[in-house]
Structure 1
Amino acid sequence: MIEVYIDGASAGNPGPSGAGIFIKGNGVVEKYSIPLGNMSNHEAEYHAFIKALEICIKNGYEIVSFRTDSELVNRAVEKEYVKNKHYAPLLEKALTLSKHFQLFFMKWIPSRENRQADELAREAIRKNN
């Protein structure tokens, strides 16, 4: 099984944002720090999730367990619903991508267990032009 730790971060709300993705399992360790431009923190969390899903699909991973410290994203995926309609297209895209896997899991974790993804997200903020 592949474990995928994701985090989105913004310097300001909205402000320069980044996605941090840390992947491990089956002898694999991958780190991604992806600048996202200007957006809110919640949008950055969704975009980090979508980018991670796309990376896992591209790499041919079939059994994935996603970990996030974003209660908003975790709850939305769990219920397949968002209150704020602004995030509905992002959730829809993520749910569609998640169907590509043989097994897909999503779990909320405390921030202290998501430090690597958080550091990568903060690094990505600094990469914005």
Structure 2
Amino acid sequence: MIEVYIDGASAGNPGPSGAGIFINANGTIDKYSIPLGVMSNHEAEFHAFIHALEICLEKGYDGSLVSFRTDSELVNKAVEKEFVKNKLYSPLLERALHLSKKMDLFFMKWIPSAENKAADELARQAIKKNETGEQTTS
């Protein structure tokens, strides 16, 4: 099973934002800290999810059981219901659903923030990288 922890963060709302993605693929750990520019925290959460889906598809995880973990209730509920009230997020949700349907075994679970510290730290690092345009993966 592939476990993917995602988080989006903003310094201000809107403000400089970042995506943090922590992937545990059967013991192999990958970390991503992606600067997103200026946006709201909710937008950053959706972008983190979209980036994580794209990474998983690029890595060929589409045939594996992939479990996404997020502390964003908005993103989790939007994916579960395939609907979001705020029309600003509709295109982001549509993109995320399109990508998630390319996976054979896709699962998303809401987790408390305390269980998402690795992705949160990566997202906060990404906020600082907005000034340099740097992106970190490991």
Please, what TM-score do these two structures have when normalized by structure 1? 0.99
Residues 34-113 of structure 1: pairs in structure 2 closer than 5 A: 34-61=34-61, 62=63, 63-113=65-115
Show structure 1 runs of 5+ residues with no match: none
Shift of 1:100: 1.1
Q: Does the residue aligned with 1:82 lie in a helix, a strand or coil? A: coil
Separation in 2, partners of 1:99, 1:75: 16
Query: Amino acid of the residue matched to residue 125 of structure 1?
Result: I
In structure 2, the residue matched to 1:12 is 12
Instruction: Report the Cα distance in structure 1 between the residues aligned to 2:28 and 2:3, rounded to whole angstroms.
Output: 10
Provide the secondary structure at the position in 1 that maps to 2:18. strand
SS at match of 1:33: strand
TM (normalized to structure 2)? 0.92
Gaps of 5+ in 2: 132-138
* Superimposed CA distance per residue, residues 43-73 of structure 1 (whole angstroms, 9 cap, x where no aligned partner): 0000000000000000001320000000000
Q: How big is the alpha-carbon RMSD for the aligned residues of Structure 1 and Structure 2?
A: 0.6
Superposed displacement of residue 28, structure 1: 1.5
When the two structures are aligned, how many residues end up with a matched partner? Answer: 129
**Aligned equivalents of 1:16 and 1:27: distance in 2?**
32
In 2, Cα distance between equivalents of 1:82 and 1:91: 7
**Secondary structure, in 3 states, of the residue corresponding to 2:32?**
strand
User: Residue 88 of structure 1: CA displacement?
Assistant: 0.3
Identity of aligned residues (%): 78
